[in-house]
Structure formats: structure tokens, C-alpha cells
Structure 1
Amino acid sequence: MNTATLARQSELDRCVDAAELTTTLAAELLEVADLLAGEPRLRNALSDPTTADQRRRDLVEAVLGGKLSAGTLTVVGQAAALKWGSGGRLIQVLRRQALRVLLGLSQQDGRLDRVEEELFRLGRTAVASHELRKALDDHSTPVAARRRLVAELVSAKVDPITLALAEQAVPADEGTFAFGIDEVLALAAQARQRSIATVTVARPLTQEQHDRLAAVLVRQLGRQVNLQVVIDPNVIGGARVQVGDQVIEGTLVSRLAAAAQHLTK
């Protein structure tokens, strides 16, 4: 993946991270991805790089407005406004965002550890069983049927979010189920990283400053964060906070709330 594509992916990640994470958002993103997979004219129109970005966004509103929640419509519009190179790639990024939403929900509820463990075990089971691996990776069988097989195997044994993620790991066009599981686990690792806030300051924070800044970031980001404090004498005034690829410079940190003022005093 080239630098430009990674930048667009990060931009869409930020759009989703700013939205309210709900099962509706995840389900609707998957519905739109399925719709585009079955509607080549619409898929091509929404991914045509010769069409102005805003016109592609307007097309999303015209076709899907009233059929999706406001949050989903915003995300799909932003996805369409970015240039991915192909309709297939647009479908992939929408599915990726749906998986990120599901993982974010499991993290909010304190279930991410369980979901990761269940996905890992399921992936290893598929690898170990020749018959199961063959059934899940058989592209001559409709993907819906293979997803039903996953549900029949594990629906009563795993977290509902694990089941939803495992169903999406079933390869629709190419690849293997085990590879799909590995991709979901990689997204889970990224979800954990987004909850680590690296705070660079000139001097160590007191416990009170540490706790107040953590509380401010929780309110600002809408999720729990763990602070990793880095001492850098070259930092002059305030602090630099990085959460994933989001950077909050010191002057903004000091304005987030009174609790974050005077961090280096």
C-alpha cells in the first residue's frame, strides 16, 4: 500500500473514530459494501477518479440518503470522496471500517481480550482441519453459505462480536479464512494502539496532572486511554500528545480543559 493510500485510509479512520460507534453503523457499512459488490454501475460511479470528489459525495446522498443513519451516511460519503483507485478497493475500505467499529465496540465494553482469543482459536482450528479449511475457502460455494457454516460452528460458543468478525473473515473473492482472521487480529492490535496516548513533556507529570490529563483525553476521544509519558527536555511549554496517528500539540492540550493546564510547571 503506497503512502497516498495510507494517508486516505488514516483520514477515513479519523472520520469513523469521530462517529458514535454502534452496531447499526457496522451493519450498515457492511450492507453498503454488499450493495456495491452487486451493483457495478453504482460502484464504478462512486469510485470514478475523473468525477469531482464532492460530486461522488453528493451521489451517496442522492442514492442512500434516507436509507442509512446519519453517521453511516457521513462515513460512506467521506469514503466515496476519497480516491481509492477502484470500486473493489472502495468495498474493501468500507468493510474494514465496519470491522474497526465492531472491534471498537468490544473494546468499549471490555470484551476485546475475549474477542481476540476466540478469533485466534477459531483461526487455528480452521488451519488444523483440512475439511473445514477446504469448506471455508471453497470459492465455488456462495459466501453466504460459508458464513452460515461459521455461524453453525461457533454461534453458541463465542461473543456475538466474535461471530460477526469471523463471518466477515470468510473470503468473498480470494484469499483464505485463516488470512481473513489474521487481518481482523491485526486491526484489533491497532485498536489497542489507539488507546495508548504517548505524552511528551519536558518534566515528569505529578500524579494529579497525570490523572487530570487522562480524564481530559477520555472526554475528548470518547474512549479509555492509557498514558505513556515520555520526558524530553527539548519540549518547550505544554505537551505533545499522540494517540495512534492523531497528534494534539501542547497549545491545544492546554485548552482542552483547565485540568490540563500547567503540565510542565
Structure 2
Amino acid sequence: MRANSQATTDAARERFEPVLRTAGAGADQYGSELFAVVDVLDASAGLRRALTDPSREGSDKATVMTSVFGGKVSEQAVDLLAGLARGRWSADVDIADAVETLGTDAVLASAEAAGALLEVETQLFSVIRLLAGNRDLRLALSDKSRTVAERIQLLETLVQDKVEPQTATLLSRALGNRRSTTLTAGLVRLNEAAAARRQQLVATVTAAVPLTAAQREKLSGILQRAYGRAVQLNVAVEPNVVGGVRIQIGDEVVDATTLTRLDEARRRLVG
């Protein structure tokens, strides 16, 4: 997002956080409501333009938002949406992205309140790895000749009773989200959002052989010093990995040897 949209989104997230804390484990209700709002916004470019038109007064745009969604979602969600409409936007699609982010925040806040946030993060990564190793499953879940409901049902048969309710909600959302380029890309973003809520970066480590506890601890320490914050390691084993280990953090791929040299240089600089 560009500056105006990002500022509006950040302000909305800050305002929404106390509401989520109050709702506790029930915050996932807001997530479901907001995801439904995103689907409406995705389907109507005219509505998005009406809600983000810089020539209109913020109060007018808030009235439009309230008239469309009032009575269909909770009062708290309507208030949040009206606040978004009053904000400034760099592009009309950004308002849908913002609501998607807020819906994800709500589901993750629910998991956090239930003491299941780490478990949700781990389960999302497990599904990512499952998809990476099963081409037929990836194709089946991406098959546009099947309805979203059918694809969700297929995924639910694979993970039924094996994941937290919040994980199931996010998996379903990833399947129904039209703006993700692929299902895996959508799941990676959700996994990173869960880690961010725990104030950690996610490092996906692909190794030729399983890492020992000592190796994981050492690598985690190197990454934490290199990036200046805690890092959650998600480790996958692929015997054909060249060089023994591959590390990806967001869009950045780092070589373990390079990272070790970087860490050593930084330690020398600080004495």
C-alpha cells in the first residue's frame, strides 16, 4: 500500500485492537463478518470507488458504508468500517485489502486469547508444506471448475478435528480469497501475520537433513541478531537442497554461510 492507504489502515488497526482484546476468543466473529465485507467490496468496483473517492466528504463516504453494511454485521464492525471510509486512500482496491487485514487480525486475536496462536501458526505452516509436497492436492484446491464451498469441503476432510477453529477459518478464507495469486501465497501471508502478532519474523528453513536442537538454537540466534527481533523457525526437510540449507524470510532468501559472515562482522563491529 502507498502512504495514504497505509496510514488509514494502521490507524484502523490501532483503533480495533481494544475491541478485539475485549472480545477475547469471540473476536473470530468479527473476522467472519469482515471477510464477508471483503467479498462484497471485491465484487463491486463502484462501491469501492464510492468509499474511497477523494472528492467526497469523509462523512458522506461513512454514510454509504453504514447504509450498505448496517444491520448485516455487528455494530463494532460497522463503526470500524465507517472509520475506514472516512480515511484517505491511494487506490480503491486498498480499502478491501485493509478490511482483509483487519479480519485476519480478528481471527488471530481470537487464537491469541484462547492461547492457541502458536499452534495456529504451526498448523498453517504444516498445510503449506503439505501443499508443497502434493501437486495433485494443489491442483484440486485450485480447480476453478469446483465451487469455493467444494474446495473448502475438500480441505476440511484433510484437516478435520486436527486444527484449531481459527486455523480452519483462515484456511477457508485463503481458499475463498480472490486477491491471492495462489493458495500457497495466501497461506504464507497468513502464517507471517500470525508470527507478526507474536512479534516474530518467520524464517522458512529448508534443509537437506533435519536440524538438531543445537543447530536450530544457533541459527535462531544468528537470525535474531541479524534482523534485530525474534525469529520463528519453520523447518522443512528436502534432501535435494543445494548447499544443505536454504532460508527465506518474507521475499528475502539468504544463504546460511552469508548470514554467518554477516553475524560475525556485526559482532566484530560492536566489539
Interval containing the TM-score (normalised by the shorter chain): 0.5 to 0.7
**C-alpha distance in structure 2 between counterparts of 1:39 and 1:18, whole Å:** 30
Contact 1:49 1:85 (8 Å CA) reproduced: no
Contact 1:139 1:172 (8 Å CA) reproduced: no
**C-alpha distance in structure 2 between counterparts of 1:108 and 1:86, whole Å:** 34
Helix, strand or coil for the counterpart of 1:66? coil
Contact 2:121 2:195 (8 Å CA) reproduced: no
The match for 1:214 is none
**C-alpha distance in structure 2 between counterparts of 1:87 and 1:5, whole Å:** 9
Q: 1:189 aligns with which of 183, 189, 195?
A: 195
Contact 1:57 1:78 (8 Å CA) reproduced: yes
The match for 1:261 is none
**1:70 and 2:75 correspond:** yes
TM superposition score normalised by structure 1: 0.66
Cα drift, residue 135 of structure 1: 2.2
Sort the Cα spacing of 1:17 and 1:136 in 2 relative to 1 into closer, same or farther, 3 A: same
**1:15 and 2:21 correspond:** no
Contact 1:119 1:181 (8 Å CA) reproduced: yes
Sort the Cα spacing of 1:13 and 1:109 in 2 relative to 1 into closer, same or farther, 3 A: same
**C-alpha distance in structure 2 between counterparts of 1:144 and 1:174, whole Å:** 17
The match for 1:177 is 183
Cα drift, residue 173 of structure 1: 4.3
Cα drift, residue 44 of structure 1: 2.6
The match for 2:104 is 99
What is the percent sequence identity of the aligned residues? 27
**C-alpha distance in structure 1 between counterparts of 2:129 and 2:52, whole Å:** 36
Aligned residues: 194
Sort the Cα spacing of 1:153 and 1:9 in 2 relative to 1 into closer, same or farther, 3 A: same
Contact 2:120 2:194 (8 Å CA) reproduced: no
Q: 1:168 aligns with which of 161, 173, 178?
A: 173
The match for 2:262 is none
Contact 2:4 2:89 (8 Å CA) reproduced: no
Helix, strand or coil for the counterpart of 1:98? helix
Helix, strand or coil for the counterpart of 1:19? helix
TM superposition score normalised by structure 2: 0.65
**C-alpha distance in structure 1 between counterparts of 2:194 and 2:113, whole Å:** 13
Q: 1:89 aligns with which of 90, 94, 98?
A: 94
**1:61 and 2:66 correspond:** yes
Cα drift, residue 19 of structure 1: 1.4
Letter in 2 for 1:189: A
Helix, strand or coil for the counterpart of 1:33? helix
Q: 2:135 aligns with which of 117, 127, 130?
A: 130
Cα drift, residue 64 of structure 1: 2.3
Contact 2:54 2:88 (8 Å CA) reproduced: yes
Cα drift, residue 37 of structure 1: 2.5
Gaps spanning 5+ residues in structure 2: where? 201-271
Q: Which is bigger in relative contact order (C-alpha 8 A, separation at least 6)?
A: 2
Gaps spanning 5+ residues in structure 1: where? 195-265
**1:148 and 2:158 correspond:** no
- Show the 5 A alignment for 1:21-60: 21=23, 22-60=27-65
**C-alpha distance in structure 1 between counterparts of 2:193 and 2:157, whole Å:** 25
Contact 2:180 2:186 (8 Å CA) reproduced: no
Contact 1:26 1:98 (8 Å CA) reproduced: yes
Sort the Cα spacing of 1:67 and 1:169 in 2 relative to 1 into closer, same or farther, 3 A: closer
Q: Which runs of 4+ in 1 moved over 6 A?
A: none
